[in-house]
Structure 1
Amino acid sequence: MRPSTPFLAVDLERMQANIARVAEAATARGIALRPHAKTHKTIEIGRMQVAAGAHGLTVATIGEAEVFAAAGLDDLFIAYPLWIDADRAARLSHLAAAGAAISIGVDSVEAAARIARGGLAGRVSARVEVDAGHHRSGCVPTAAGDVASAAARAGIEVEGVFAFPGHAYAPEGRETAARQEAEALRVAAASMRDAGVPPQVVSGGSTPSFAAALALDSPVTELRPGVSVFGDAQQWELGSTAPEQIALTAHATVVSHAGGRLVLDAGSKVLGPDRAAWATGHGRLLDHPDARIVQLSEHHALVELPGIAPDDLPPLGSLVRAVPNHSCMAVNLVDELFVFDRADDAEPSARWRVAARGRNA
């Protein structure tokens, strides 16, 4: 039976094609793939990604790592500069004792010391995070050797170096961000080699910069796209996902034509509130490319369809497929995903629990 709207739906055929396309592109360049599972937070999807050739998964938090490791997906990189306290040390130690291979981010000498003081030397490995131009976290590339050598002196295995080119999330920014990331990682890897801690893994990537990174002469040995599994309205607008590749939508019902617009029953509590400054709306409609969600409240989405007369609007009670701006945010708002083998199927074939939902620490 089709559930009542609103709900998040996965087009299985499209998602599997997305997983295969990304895996094949990385393999063709001899680059390992470690997709970011914070996008889907779902065991079934993680298993599909590994079965398609991913060397492991990336996560954002220890909580996400615990969920995936418990399901046997236990080759995990926590791509975050963790500040280790007693609770985090105990949880990471438990994961290691259970046989999980865990690597964590570090971007300062002080943070490396905290890893050692937490008793994690020999239990987890570390990757040095460098700032590749996004200016969020990460040390400057020339300091990577200092951080790596401090960790190594403390008995911590230093697996490599990583960056996140988040500034690729901007119009016309993908190629520039990929080039800046490649240069930052090249400088960081040289700094680590000079310090006597050569990186075994040089990791980068994001969904918008993925294709550009593959096209470069880059030191990258691993890429970590996340949103590529689903796509979303941001990727559609950036040009890194075609509309026919979007595999996650919010199924919503047209409940009103007030003001000559569509009013949908899917608001910010389903679609998520994210809207970049450059975005043309709060989301889009997959089957009406010119439509934009122009106003969003908790349980309402107001949609304008340019050039369509009021009498020609999708009728009251009809179903539309809304594309969230940010699929990661939308997934974290629901308990389960409804899986349709193909987009035109009348009923879902499966319901997948969003197992790592809310595991933010």
Structure 2
Amino acid sequence: MNDAAVIRPEARAAFARWPLPEGLDTPAVVVDLPTMEGNIRRMATALAERGVGFRPHTKTHKCVEIARRQLDAGADGITTATIGEAEVFAAAGIRDIFIAYPVWPSSPKARRLAALAERCRLRVGIDSAAAAAPLGDVARGLEVLIEVDSGEGRTGVPDAGAAADVAGAARAHGLNVVGVFTHGGHSYRSPGATGEAADDEVRSLLTAAEALRADGHDVQVLSSGSTPTAIASARDGVTEERPGTFVFGDRQQTALGAVRPEDVAMAVAATVVSVSASPRRFVVDAGAKVLSKDGPPTVAGFGAVPTYPDAVVTRTFDHHGIVEIGAGERPSAGEVVTVVPNHACPVVNLADELVIVEDGKIVDRWPVDARCRNR
């Protein structure tokens, strides 16, 4: 794919609009505070206007301070991907947590889940009858949501009948089936996929919920979740949305049209450590251990350098980001540039802290509290 067709000139200008503070020790993950707060406020308001709950996914930011700001803006609770993430947020006093993942409660995880269930209102995903018995042994009455595959082809039961079967097994083992959930991940396949993916989410949730109610389950929650589809699927009986990446935005989200370029709130500050005249390229100190190697189909390379036209990180080594650049001005060695990553979530998971800036000044540093809590 031609990257220039994805990152438009006006997008490049918007990405670069906020100045980097002086004296940054690079590479650093920098968050523009006013932009991030605007993203939170707009999402909370849009869902409230639709009468749909807001349960943001914290795997994007992994930061207690940001989760608190989301709750202050009106979020009903939070979503996590792992038990480890949930433990971090529960320890910080957050009391309503949904682990949107089909957790398999092996012996160590069973003990941790039981402890979590004592500390907060905990809900867990399930997509197989086989998981019902061990989950029931963890905590009788544990609230679970049946995961339905609405088209992504990752996890989740394939249809309403299978959802009813899993729900029946869950009930038989003492679990409290409170709803169904899905993730419209197929919205990431192309910029035009959002509407259809949102329709798939809504249809899958409604049919699964109907099947569960017919079997006597008190279905309270129809939970949908992805940044591209969060607004489009907030309708027709869906009770909550679980967007995550919206809080920062990234290169992939702008390519999909899910986040406006001017709403991208996070970037990587990197120093140019080497410049080559032939071929025309430069090297920054942000490689795979900062930018990750996430290469979605909608963008080329591993990051854009918006202050330089056509500059794209085309290769990453552990600590080297190789930036190919077309005609025009090039940076000098020692210059600090902004790199907009493809995918915010893995970038944050690789960072110790978020450098919080406003008007080009560092106003705080927030720890990535759940960094690498991947189990």
Which TM-score bucket, shorter chain as reference?
over 0.9
Q: Secondary structure at the match of 1:212?
A: coil
Query: Residue 183 of structure 2 corresponds to which residue in structure 1?
Result: 164
Q: Which amino acid aligns with 1:356?
A: A
Structure 2 CA distance, aligned partners of 1:75 and 1:286? 39
Unaligned stretches of 5+ in structure 1?
none
Task: Note the aligned Cα RMSD (angstroms).
Answer: 1.5
Q: Secondary structure at the match of 2:366?
A: strand
Query: Residue 30 of structure 1 corresponds to which residue in structure 2?
Result: 51
1:190-235: per-residue Cα shift (whole Å, max 9, x none)? 1111111131000002011123223xx4331100000000011111
Q: Does 1:292 align with 2:312?
A: yes
Q: 2:238 aligns with which of 217, 220, 244?
A: 220
After TM superposition, the score normalised by the length of structure 2 is 0.90
Q: Which amino acid aligns with 2:269?
A: H
Could you tell me how far 1:188 is from its partner in structure 2?
0.5
Q: Does 1:273 align with 2:284?
A: no
Q: Does 1:335 align with 2:331?
A: no
Q: Does 1:248 align with 2:269?
A: no
Could you tell me how far 1:349 is from its partner in structure 2?
1.4
Could you tell me how far 1:96 is from its partner in structure 2?
2.2
Q: Secondary structure at the match of 2:269?
A: strand
Count of equivalent residues: 350
Residue identity (%): 45
Most deviating of 143-152 and 8-17: 143-152
After TM superposition, the score normalised by the length of structure 1 is 0.93
Query: Residue 125 of structure 2 corresponds to which residue in structure 1?
Result: 105
Query: Residue 87 of structure 2 corresponds to which residue in structure 1?
Result: 66
Mapping 1:122-201, distance limit 5 Å? 122=141, 124-142=142-160, 143-171=162-190, 172-201=192-221
Q: Which amino acid aligns with 1:240?
A: A
Query: Residue 11 of structure 2 corresponds to which residue in structure 1?
Result: none
Is the CA contact (8 Å cut-off) linking 1:165 and 1:177 kept in structure 2? yes
Structure 1 CA distance, aligned partners of 2:306 and 2:177? 44
Q: Which amino acid aligns with 1:352?
A: W
Structure 2 CA distance, aligned partners of 1:128 and 1:41? 25
Query: Residue 78 of structure 1 corresponds to which residue in structure 2?
Result: 99
Could you tell me how far 1:19 is from its partner in structure 2?
0.5
CA gap of 1:288–1:181, structure 2 versus 1, over 3 A, is farther
Could you tell me how far 1:278 is from its partner in structure 2?
3.5
Is the CA contact (8 Å cut-off) linking 1:141 and 1:185 kept in structure 2? no
Q: Which amino acid aligns with 2:178?
A: E
Q: Does 1:55 align with 2:76?
A: yes
Q: Does 1:354 align with 2:368?
A: yes
Q: Does 1:321 align with 2:338?
A: yes
Unaligned stretches of 5+ in structure 2?
1-21
Q: Secondary structure at the match of 2:346?
A: helix
Q: Secondary structure at the match of 2:331?
A: coil
CA gap of 1:134–1:3, structure 2 versus 1, over 3 A, is same
Structure 2 CA distance, aligned partners of 1:260 and 1:289? 13
Q: Secondary structure at the match of 1:161?
A: strand
